[in-house]
Structure 1
Amino acid sequence: MNLIARSRPDDSLAATREAAAELLSTRTPKFSLPQPLYTDERLYALDLQEIFEKEWLFAGLTCEIPAKGNFMTLQIGDNPILIVRGNDGTVHGFHNVCRHRGSRLCAAEKGKVAKLVCPYHQWTYELDGRLLFAGDMGPDFNASDYGLKPIHVATAGGYIFISLAEQPADNSEFLAQLEHYLAPHGMDNVKVAAESHIIEEANWKLVVENNRECYHCNGSHPELMNSLLEFDDTEDVRATPAYKAQVARMRDKWDGLNAAWQLQFFGKQNRLTRTPLKEGASSMTLDGQPGCKRLMGDLTDAEMGALRILHLPNSWNHFMADHGVTFRILPLGPQQTMVTTKWLVHKDAVEGVDYDPEQLRKVWDATNLQDRRITEDNQRGINSMAYQPGPYSETFEFGVIDFVDWYSERMLSNLSDETPSLQLAQG
């Protein structure tokens, strides 16, 4: 911590990386992180560079860009990103940056276009990124040299993942299992019924840490606890005999429906499991009853429990028989994080007949606001001169321990693999 405290504005990137590596390599295992990792602007910049510009990120859903020309945009640090459905149905990802003078191409969060046209000087690109038109550039200009810069895209189970890395890690095993686990929910036939964006004035890691434990749930989330069981594994020391019996009954049902349920880990980054909700509850609604009359996929039984999906560093998800809920986080600053929540239903479900968006979203709207208060208070306390790392509960906070370990391991690996490149200050 002292390395960061002593650093000056003109310190080199190499010195900051060295300080980060020392903080991570000397941290106390199973304790919260040293203060600068939650507060310092330079360490936040390293998080962007070594995590969000290198790992696979959950970006959105294929149902949001159903036809050619449909696009979505998002911002990863200083990098505007564009995802678009091509003429042949392929999902493409690009840096949302014109190759002429660097203007952002698409400003809207979502939309539909015939071609990608830069609003500045009307350079025009095909949906696959090829430059089609650049006015008055002279006889020696070669348009093929100026296509949009691509990013890596992977789709599975209706999810879109992106990576800004030159050579991202192989995630094919997780994608295959994600497709398998989501199969009963008919992800080719869903739509976004509701969406919310909230900004939490807290470091992105605190947002994830809060999600990875339910130690706080009974005291903070009355709406959520009407339906949610805080554990989802029969090997969890907190699992009761009643829960284990309930799981045994549900597994017979899941097997009969060919619905995958086994708890699977893909390192510490990804996790899949199907688990019951509380007895008498079939969905994450205020009364525990289905929020949508039209069930997902070809399901006919509303009591399917909940499929839980974790994808670090930026997503967690819940799928019931009647609807799904996806969460995406994107860092906005050292102490600011955007949380995007989307509620999914069958694409043929009729608003006002099969579902009421306000009723559908009440539980997670309340929970998101409660979590915002929790993480913002957490950040305020960490900012204090009195803060020092504290111990996690291995019984209740093992998910947080796994996340902090994953983050530390990935950061240390990436920091040791590279020679830092020169980064010029922008004037």
Structure 2
Amino acid sequence: MNSTARSLFDDPLAGAAEKAAAMLQARKRGSSLPQPFYNDERLFALDMQTIFEREWLFAGMTCEIPKKGCFITLEIGSNSVIVVRGDEGAIHAFHNVCRHRGSRLCSRASGKVAKLVCPYHQWAYELDGQLLFAGTDMGADFDMAAYGLKPVHVRAAGGFIFICLADDPPAIDEFADTLDDYLAPHGMDNVKVAAESEIIEKANWKLVVENNRECYHCNGAHPELLNSLYEFDDTDDPRATPKYKEVVARKQRDWEAEGAPWQLRRFGRRNRVTRTPLLEGTVSMTPDGQAGVRKLMGRLTTPDMGSLRILHLPNSWNHVMGDHAVVFRVIPIGPQETRVTTKWLVHKDAVEGVDYDPDTLRKVWDATNAQDRQLAEENQRGINSIAYEPGPYSETFEFGVIDFIDWYSERMLGHLDDETPALRLAGAR
């Protein structure tokens, strides 16, 4: 929205922004957020404008756009984005908005095109966003070069694609370089999507992320997951047992022999990358803990690679193993509604029905996602009560949640301090 249009709505959101800032500044660190952050329409609008329109977001995988003209789309609030493969393998991202009268160019979630053509009046764009055709009636003074698609910042790293809607995005190079390094043995540009699920959780996006950032609930909720997964992934974790530390040391020697990085890397509170063992006797997140794909990823020679855990706030967590990977994307829909997409990735040459069974591959995380959905939705229902007040997190079991809420609070306050955004009409429902 241009500055003139924004100014029409400054006052309505200014009040909400000031109240949000005051609540964040007064909040007790180590406790959950005040109720409005989980269910209020205007604070949801603030979240979308100060977090999801300004931070780097996980959009998809490079394997989803393998050839020139292949594209994916995603919806970030009221903003539709196209990610498309162009000439010489280049990846471009654009606002999915025709420069003529604003129609969406692509209505499908994915596909392959020669050019990007608006279905309304057939304005046509090159895959790099340049306007190629605008009819014959635009007048002699019409400047084709001035009406290319509006670009969105995009960065590919380790097979992951990240986008940022901000004019001046946060730094991402160090994290991206680490992904390239840590994921190189897994050959993430040479994988394919073997299975995909999408669920709508009737809960605020922050509750969905909070639930992921702790395993305090795992013993009581996730029997399938705990068949292969340790509840912790760091030898400095106060819960880490001597047996776990011994397994870690042994596995790290194996991973070094495989040429696979494993050291825990943190990039502030936003990003975290670490390779950690799975339970002894298991090598993959499958019902029996054994490899679910016969053809291993990349150049790996063993499936026993533990889980490379990748956190990217605000909208992704991931597990990359020796035989397959599971990637997760979180996109808010409304104050109490969140879309969670899960994709299972395998070597591109693995043959379904021969090298893997997609139903078997997805059983553990299908069960876990369903369990987490119920937990998040019950959490939301409780928070909506007049009885709710912020409660304390456990520094031992919920330090990941504390880090997430601290990151969210810092980023929200920082963005609000930079510039109070305008409440868009679409957000004031």
| Equivalent in the alignment of 2:307 | 306
Q: CA deviation at 1:11?
A: 6.1
Which residue of 1 is the match for residue 357 of structure 2? Answer: 356
**2:274 aligned partner:** 273
Shift of 1:113: 0.2
Q: For 1:422 and 1:48, how far apart are their aligned partners in 2?
A: 10
Relative contact order (alpha carbons < 8 A, sep ≥ 6): 1 or 2 greater? 2
Q: 1:373 to 1:423 in 2, by over 3 A?
A: closer
Query: Residue 421 of structure 1: CA displacement?
Result: 4.2
CA distance in structure 1 between the aligned counterparts of 2:381 and 2:424, rounded to whole angstroms? 31
Q: Distance in 2 between matches of 1:421 and 1:353?
A: 54
- Distance of 2:35 and 2:68 partners within structure 1: 47
Q: Distance in 2 between matches of 1:178 and 1:152?
A: 18
1:268/1:10 CA distance change after superposition, 3 Å: closer
Conservation of the 8 A alpha-carbon contact between 2:248 and 2:277:
yes
Moved over 6 A (4+): none
Larger deviation: 9-18 or 108-117?
9-18
Residue of structure 1 in register with 2:164 after alignment: 163
Deviations 1:75-110 (A, max 9, x none): 000001000001221100000000000000000000
1:169 Cα shift? Answer: 1.1
* CA contact 2:216–2:398 (8 Å) conserved in 1: yes
Per the normalisation by structure 1, the TM-score is 0.96
Equivalent residue, structure 2, for 1:205: 206
Q: Does 1:239 align with 2:240?
A: yes
Paired with 1:248 and 1:143, the residues of 2 have a C-alpha distance of 61
Query: How far is 1:254 from its partner?
Result: 1.0
State the match for 1:315 in structure 2.
316
Cα shift at 1:154: 0.4
1:420 deviation in Å?
3.5
Counterparts of 1:340-419 in structure 2 under 5 Å?
340-419=341-420
Q: For this pair of structures, how many residues does the alignment match?
A: 419
Show the counterpart of 2:223: 222
Aligned-pair distance for 1:274?
0.3
> In the alignment, which residue of structure 2 is the partner of 1:94?
94
| TM-score of the pair, normalised by structure 2 | 0.96
Partner Cα distance (1:423, 1:375) in 2? 28
* Aligned-pair Cα RMSD in Å: 1.4
Structure 1 letter corresponding to 2:389:
Q
Say if 1:415 and 1:230 are closer, same or farther in 2 by CA, change over 3 A.
same
Answer yes or no: is the 8 Å Cα contact 2:39–2:335 preserved in 1: yes
- Structure 1 gap segments, 5+ residues each: 1-8
1:76/1:422 Cα in 2 relative to 1: closer, same or farther (>3 Å)?
closer
Within a 5 Å distance, the mapping from 1:181-196 to structure 2 comes to 181-196=182-197
Query: CA separation of 1:423/1:327 partners in 2, compared to 1, >3 Å: closer, same or farther?
Result: closer
Amino acid at match of 2:254: K
Partner residue in 2 for 1:4? none
Partner of 1:112: 112
Instruction: Work out whether 1:25 is the aligned partner of 2:25.
Output: yes
**1:138 Cα deviation from its structure 2 partner:** 1.8
SS in 1 for 2:331: strand
Paired with 2:11 and 2:123, the residues of 1 have a C-alpha distance of 40
- What is the one-letter code of the residue matched to 1:15? G
2:31 match: secondary structure: coil
Structure 2 CA distance for partners of 1:84 and 1:30, relative to 1, 3 Å: same
Distance 1:282 1:154, change over 3 A: same
**Contact 2:35/2:383 (8 A) holds in 1:** yes
Unpaired runs of 5+ in structure 2? 1-8
1:288 alignment partner in structure 2: 289
1:224-246 deviation digits (Å, cap 9, x = unpaired): 01000000011111101110100
Q: 1:422: Cα distance to partner? A: 7.1
Q: Distance in 2 between matches of 1:197 and 1:296?
A: 24
Tell me which residue corresponds to 2:34: 34
The CA distance in 2 between the partners of 1:150 and 1:237, in whole Å, is 46
SS in 2 for 1:97: coil
Give yes or no for contact 2:103–2:120 (8 Å, CA) kept in 1. yes
- After TM superposition, give the deviation of residue 300 of structure 1 in Å: 1.3
Taking only the aligned residue pairs, the percentage that are identical comes to 70
The corresponding residue for 2:4 is none
Q: C-alpha distance in 1, partners of 2:219/2:328?
A: 21
Residues 168-183 of structure 1 aligned to structure 2 (within 5 Å):
168-183=169-184
* Corresponding position of 1:49: 49
| Structure 1 CA distance for aligned equivalents of residues 34 and 378 of structure 2 | 17
What per-residue deviation string (whole Å, max 9, x for no partner) do you get for residues 237-287 of structure 1?
A: 110111010001001111111211111100000000000000100000000
Q: What CA distance in whole angstroms lies between the structure 2 residues aligned with 1:12 and 1:66?
A: 45
Q: 2:16 touches 2:43 (CA, 8 Å); kept in 1?
A: yes
> Partner residue of 2:155?
154
- Tell me, what secondary structure is at the counterpart of 2:195? strand
The DSSP-based 3-state class of the residue aligned with 1:273 is strand
Aligned partners of 1:343, 1:314: CA distance in 2, in Å? 17
- In 1, Cα distance between the equivalents of 2:423 and 2:80? 21
**Aligned amino acid, residue 371 of structure 2:** Q
Displacement of 1:298: 1.4
Counterpart in the other structure of 1:126: 126
Maintained 8 Å contact 2:123/2:134: yes
Kept in 1, the 8 Å contact 2:10–2:423? The answer is no
Deviation for aligned residue 1:13: 1.4
Question: Could you say what secondary structure the match of 1:194 adopts?
Answer: strand
Counterpart of 2:192, as a letter, is K
On the 8 A contact 2:309/2:318 being kept in 1, the answer is yes
Deviations 1:162-216 (A, max 9, x none): 0000010111000000111111101121111001100000000000000000000
